[in-house]
Amino acid sequence: MELIPDLEQKSILYDGANVVYWIKNRAGATLVFLHGWSCSSALWSQQADLLGQYSYLPGHGESEVAEAELTIEYMARAVESVLQHEGVEQAVIVGHSMGGPVATMLLRLHSNRVSAIIYVDSFFDLPENYVNQKQRKAWRESLMDDQEFRDTIRRRFLTDRMTETVKERILQVTTETSKYVRLHSVTTDKLPHAWRHDEVYDIPALLLVTPVYADIDRRWLQHMPGLQVENWNDHGHFLFMEEPVVFNSRVKNFMKQM
């Protein structure tokens, strides 16, 4: 991970594997940053002035992965184990991409732990859960090809708003993630958790979304009526790396309004 001043690297054992995270004690609300699929906390380095805690999800970055299947629930429970270990009673979760559903699952499993969620170009459920088994199989097979995976990252996620350094950083981090994690964290055959009609979480929530994911699942608003949706047009999936100053300012303003 890129060096972020005054952050301490720590780890705990969860389900037989090390979960690595970076932390800085700060006054006020605890911010927990969750990265996306095949990423790592290194990509949050430009959010250093927000401080807080940056977690590597199991199997990503420096975190290990046990034999258990990499489901959203598994990852959410790993995050909760970090919060419990650090004595954090409540936190504001910032989840990018796949980190968003992990944040939502953490809310569902341990609602007392989550005071608010900021979703960064994320979704109600993993996009893979909206396709049939044949399509999922084809997606899994394409992910096995390293060059095709690299080309997919370039094509879908890198933009002209990024510096060459940022582009290379994203490519480096995503391609260094193990193929096992690349495949199993998004193409699991396990069904997502069902929602009860009356399962409602009335907490402050913000979705910063680009056009690709702007057509959100309407169930999101039913189960989280406090969700504010802001469209970031002309931005790419890693908007927090494209416009770090603007993004950080929006996070700070959201925190002030809570």
Predicted TM-score (pTM) of the model is 0.91
Q: pLDDT means per 10 residues in the chain (258 residues)?
A: 62 84 73 90 84 48 58 91 90 95 97 97 91 82 89 95 96 90 72 89 98 97 98 97 96 92
Number of residues that make up the chain: 258
Q: Which CATH architecture has domain 8-257?
A: 3-Layer(aba) Sandwich (3.40)
Asked if residue 192 lies in contact with residue 126, where contact means CB atoms within 8 angstroms, the answer is yes
The pLDDT of residue 67: 54
Closest CA to 96 of 225, 242, 258: 242
Asked if residue 186 lies in contact with residue 257, where contact means CB atoms within 8 angstroms, the answer is no
The pLDDT of residue 233: 96
The pLDDT of residue 184: 75
Closest CA to 190 of 110, 250, 140, 133: 133
Asked if residue 11 lies in contact with residue 20, where contact means CB atoms within 8 angstroms, the answer is yes
Angle at which helices 99-109 and 72-86 pack, to 10 degrees?
70
Asked if residue 102 lies in contact with residue 58, where contact means CB atoms within 8 angstroms, the answer is no
Q: Nearest 10 degrees: CA dihedral of 8, 115, 113, 195?
A: -130
The pLDDT of residue 188: 65
The pLDDT of residue 152: 92
Element (H, E) at 115: strand 114-120
| Residues paired with residue 54 on neighbouring β-strands, in sequence order | 22, 33
The pLDDT of residue 6: 64
Strand order of the β-sheet with 205-209 is 8-14, 17-23, 53-55, 30-34, 91-96, 114-120, 205-209, 227-231
Asked if residue 140 lies in contact with residue 149, where contact means CB atoms within 8 angstroms, the answer is no
The pLDDT of residue 179: 85
Neighbouring CB atoms inside 10 A of 130's CB total 13
Q: How far apart are CA 80 and CA 209, in angstroms?
A: 26
Q: What are phi and psi of 91, to 5 degrees?
A: -145, 155
